[in-house]
Amino acid sequence: MSNWVESLIAAAFAALLFIAPAAAAPGASAEASTSAAARALAADAPAVPAESRRVGYYGYGHVPSPQAIAGWSIAVRPDGQGLPPGQGGVAHGADVYAQQCAACHGTFGEGEARYPKLAGNSKLTADRPVKTVGNYWPYATTLWDYIDRAMPFPSPHSLSVDDVYAITAYILNLNNIVPDNFIADHNSLPKVKMPNRHGFILRDPRPDTDDVACMSRCLSPQAVRIVSTAEGKGLTPRTTGPLDEMAPK
């Protein structure tokens, strides 16, 4: 029998045991046992500050405390705003990385099995480019943010601030972006020049995307004629769908 079937049966059995005493005691109504459970839950819930007990539109929930918001507000911006005090270097980063990350991403960022590569020699202009931190990511600060919020995959946001700095330094070093003696902190990371820093475009150069959206008194759809397409302009890869058949009318 597979493990999960066993645990399912065990869980069902435990639920039966839990219900049994209430059913056995003739005086105890179902309602009484429910409210006992509710009280048990309420005892676990954090105290709600008085000013947040206002009943909202839907009549439930409460205004989050500044501390609760601070717990979720961990975004680090490209210019480094949001980076906490702390620091870490390449050598310590290599140690923590070996324990926390290498199993999936490979000791040198080469990636185990299908897990993402974090370093390598692939060029974005190759026929089949492999995106890495070195050839793709525009900001070192974003690397810090991502590792802090999302890694290690099985237990995200569990690393100390200093360890995140150290691992960031190690991964940048694996990609030959910073020297062995680099110390990552809230001053140094925003200054790191990532190779693909200017590889992202804010404005789509295709002719039909750069226009002001019409919000009132717009052209009637019947009056619209396609006079040219992106086909043949070297902008869009050929598809095998209807786009290939699309021609100026």
From candidates 76, 90, 140, 151, binder to ligand HEC by CB under 6 A: 151
Tell me how long the chain is.
249
Q: Minimum distance from CB of 179 to ligand HEC (Å)?
A: 20
Q: Token digits for 248?
A: 């100026």
By CB under 6 A, residue 108 contacts ligand HEC: no
User: Of residues 103, 130, 161, 183, which one binds ligand HEC by CB under 6 A?
Assistant: 103
Residue closer to ligand HEC by CB (options 108, 115) is 115
* Site membership for ligand HEC, residue 62 (CB under 6 A): no
- Provide, for the chain, the percentages of residues in helix, strand and coil under a 3-state DSSP scheme, each rounded to the nearest 5: 40, 0, 55
Contact at 8 Å (CB) between 152 and 160? no
In this complex, which beta carbon is closest to ligand HEC, that of residue 22 or of residue 130? 130
Strand, helix or coil at 158?
Answer: coil
Q: Does the protein bind ligand HEC through residue 149 (CB under 6 A)?
A: no
Is there binding between residue 189 and ligand HEC (CB under 6 A)?
Answer: no
CA pseudo-torsion sign 117, 121, 123, 128: negative
Q: Please, which residues have CB within 8 angstroms of residue 187's CB and are 6 or more apart in sequence?
A: 80
Determine, following the binding rule CB under 6 A, whether residue 194 of this chain makes contact with ligand HEC.
no
Three-state DSSP string of 92-152: HHHHHHHHHCHHHHCCCCCCCCCCCCCCCCCCCCCCCCCCCHHHHCCCHHHHHHHHHHHCC
Q: How far is the CB of 127 from ligand HEC (least distance, A)?
A: 19
Please, what is the minimum distance in Å from the beta carbon of residue 83 to ligand HEC? Answer: 16
User: What's the DSSP call for residue 59?
Assistant: S
Residue 167 in contact with ligand HEC, rule: CB under 6 A: yes
For ligand HEC, the binding residue among 82, 86, 110, 115 (CB under 6 A) is: 115
Q: Are 147 and 116 in contact (CB under 8 A)?
A: no
Among 83, 118, 166, 172, which residue interacts with ligand HEC (rule: CB under 6 A)? 118
Angle of helix 161-174 relative to helix 90-100, nearest 10 degrees, comes to 100
| Residue 221 interacting with ligand HEC (CB under 6 A) | no
Question: Which span (12-20, 111-119, 172-180, 185-193) binds ligand HEC, by CB under 6 A?
Answer: 111-119
Instruction: Name which of 89 and 152 has its Cβ closer to ligand HEC.
Output: 152
- Number of residues this chain uses to bind ligand HEC (CB under 6 A): 19
- Name which position in 90, 101, 172, 178 contacts ligand HEC (CB under 6 A): 101
Q: What is the DSSP letter of 87?
A: E
The contact set with ligand HEC (CB under 6 A) reads 100-101, 103-105, 115-116, 118, 131, 133, 143, 146-147, 151-154, 159, 167
